[in-house]
Amino acid sequence: MEQPRRITDSFPRRLRRRGPGRPPGRLKDKKDKKDRDKDQDKVQVKVRDCARSPSQPAPDPALLEMLRRFDLCWEYGPCTGITRLQRWERAQELGLSPPGPIRDALLEHRDNPDVTYRWVGMGW
Amino acid sequence: MFSEQAAPTAQGLLAPPSAEPPTFPRVPVSGYSDCSQPFQLGERSFSRQYAHIYAVRLTGMRPRLERRARSRWGNDIALRKLSELQAGEKCCVVGTLFKSMQLQPSILQEISEEHNLVPQPPLPKYIQPSDELILEDELQRIKLEGAIDVQRLVTGTILAVYGSEQDDGRFLVEDHCFADLPPPLPWNGPSSDRFVLLASGLGLGSVSGEALLSTQLLVDVVTGQLGAEGEQSCAAHITRVILAGNLLSQNTQSRDTINKAKYLTKKTQAASVEAVKILDEILLQLCTSVPVDVMPGEFDPTNYTLPQQPLHCCMLPLASAYATLRLVTNPYQANLDGVRFLGTSGQNISDIFKYSSMDDYLEILEWTLLAGHISPTAPDTLGCYPFYKSDPFILTECPHVYFCGNAPHFQSKLLQGKEGQRVLLVTVPDFSATQTACLINLRDLTCQPITFSGFGADSED
């Protein structure tokens, strides 16, 4: 169970000096701060369903970049809330002729949630 | 009731009964096929936004609208997207309509605590002279003005406008067009007289029991237990009964038990339980004699969003033992004896009535057919399932009979299209208020009302 995301994660973190006699619950914040520093540069928040299985080869960043550009193409409709494969099939049925290599890549890396993901916005 | 067809030599009721009681076999069911698979939802997931259904609606209807625009305004008109518009250039744009209305109930206004406002009471119509029309396509939106009737149109319609962009950023419309009637279906209707009875708004479970007599008369006519031999032989020509929604009355939906304390309401039964038992008994009588299709309506125990799923058979234990009972979705589409029926329980039409200046239910029904979409106001003001793959409410083929239930009056019209479409438009009246049902003759697509009123106190003067 990963840490619940907060809306303040995307705000810049300001370090505040606290005097002695900290209010209770401070220890929990300390643990969160460590996680937050790791992904401070992330602007989008994605919900990951499960950890990536280490046995599969990691998809190269060029492929992920191509998939991200497919997501942002306005011709194929909205990309939120459905998997990339569902979006590709829908575009195919509506006759918008989406590029074939995208589908091959999606089917090849079917188990990888980074590749197939459904973009879920914050708070859903 | 089909009195012209009653055999003239048949015995009247004043003659002694004939020595051998005659039997009238009902006309057998020959082609029936249910075409409402697009309206049946399997697993439902509500974790999607409604942008998908609007995107699919626009992409799905755009080719048809572009063809219509070309045939109407010339083959060489410029079809532009909103992002490609240039000021002053005459062009055609296809997009989704949005009507911004001041009186439209908004959840944000209701929960706005700083204004301390009481939520506005439900009004019969929410239109105002200050409403504005905005055309949206995939990326941008633009305000419309000019030769377009703002009061008449509703949100969610896909249309093509012809005009030019003004300097102040608005689009001056010179002409507009809708998708028009969908392509026709081949006609395979029967050659002899066959009737389908359409009724809606039975309203069981209401406080007054007057409608129960009329409902029982309806059942007796259909099962051939009323009238002399002439009427009975005519009733044998009824091949199907379709109940188009609102089988339960609005009174069964009372919500005061929610506000009361739990210890006061523990033993009270929901009013709909008794009403469903009455419905089961009525359906049992009908199902022993004729195939019945039951569509859910606004006040029936099924889901609220369109498309409404069929009532569950566990609620009707007596009647669902018979194979003649079919519990179907709302909207409902089927092929009966080669005639394509398509209809709803009326929520789409009454929702357009609230947000448009059109007053006549038949006019609104015809308008939805010409706009090519069963309910354009879903999901804006009418609850709808968040489809993402395709919009099942787009009309792809022209039905032969297009009906809507729970209308205030009975009206019917035969519409002829340019490509040979013949559609019978029927507004089925609310049975609990008007005691009227409709009989549709499948051979020649005519429709006649049939009223079952008993003698009440007001008919004595």
Out of B47, B48, B138, the one facing A74 most closely (by C-beta) is: B138
Classified as helix, coil or strand, B447 is strand
Out of B51, B389, B390, the one facing A78 most closely (by C-beta) is: B51
Helix axes B361-371, B347-355, angle to 10 degrees: 100
Instruction: Report the distance separating Cα B109 and Cα A4, nearest Å.
Output: 31
Query: A58 or A31: whose pLDDT is higher?
Result: A58
User: What percentage of residues in chain A have a pLDDT greater than 90?
Assistant: 2
Relative to beta strand B436-441, strand B195-199 is: antiparallel
**Rg of chain B over all Cα atoms, to the nearest angstrom:** 25
pTM tops 0.90, yes or no: no
Instruction: Please report the ipTM that was assigned to this predicted complex.
Output: 0.80
- Look at B389 and A124 and tell me if their CB atoms are within 8 Å: no
Instruction: Report the distance separating Cα A48 and Cα B135, nearest Å.
Output: 37
pLDDT of residue A29: 44
- For residue A28, pLDDT beyond 80: no
pLDDT of residue A123: 38
pLDDT of residue A101: 87
Relative to beta strand B339-344, strand B401-407 is: parallel
Confidence of residue A2 (pLDDT cuts 50, 70, 90): low
- Distance from first CA to last CA of chain A, Å, rounded? 17
Cβ-based contacts of B394 with chain A (< 8 Å): none
Instruction: Report the distance separating Cα B18 and Cα B180, nearest Å.
Output: 56
- Look at B49 and A90 and tell me if their CB atoms are within 8 Å: no
pLDDT of residue B423: 94
CB B323 within 8 Å of CB B293: no
pLDDT of residue B7: 52
CB A98 within 8 Å of CB A92: yes
A–B: how many Cβ contacts below 8 A?
38
- For residue A46, pLDDT beyond 50: no
Confidence of residue A31 (pLDDT cuts 50, 70, 90): very low
pLDDT, mean of residues A68-80: 87
pLDDT of residue B260: 72
Residue of chain A minimizing CA distance to B139: A74
- Look at A78 and B389 and tell me if their CB atoms are within 8 Å: no
Q: Within 13 A of B193's CA, how many CA atoms are on the CB side?
A: 13
- Look at B55 and A78 and tell me if their CB atoms are within 8 Å: yes
| Residue B365: closest CA among B405, B329, B394, B393 | B405
pLDDT of residue B348: 93
Cβ-based contacts of A77 with chain B (< 8 Å): 51-52, 55-56, 59
Q: Which residues contact A79 (CB under 8 A, 6 or more apart)?
A: A71, A72, A87, A119
- Our measurement of the distance from residue B127's CA atom to the centroid of its chain's CA atoms, rounded to an integer in Å, reads 22
| Residue B135: closest CA among B58, B32, B51, B240 | B58
Out of A78, A89, A93, the one facing B52 most closely (by C-beta) is: A78
Write down the residue that tokens 């992330």 correspond to. A42
Q: Which domains does chain B have, with CATH numbers?
A: 32-43+183-254+268-451 (3.60.21.50), 50-107+124-177 (2.40.50.430)
pLDDT of residue A40: 43
Cβ-based contacts of A80 with chain B (< 8 Å): 48-49, 51
Query: Which range (A73-87, A110-124, B284-298) has the least confidence?
Result: A110-124
Weakly modelled stretches of chain B, pLDDT under 70: 1-11, 110, 112-119, 255-259, 454-461
Instruction: Report the distance separating Cα B179 and Cα B172, nearest Å.
Output: 21
pLDDT of residue A3: 66
- For residue A21, pLDDT beyond 60: no
DSSP state of B264: H
Which amino acid belongs to residue B15? A
Out of B49, B139, B390, the one facing A81 most closely (by C-beta) is: B49
Six token digits for residue B83: 């992002």
Q: Which residues of A lie inside 8 Å of B (Cβ-Cβ)?
A: 74-75, 77-78, 80-82, 86, 89-90, 93-94, 96, 120, 124
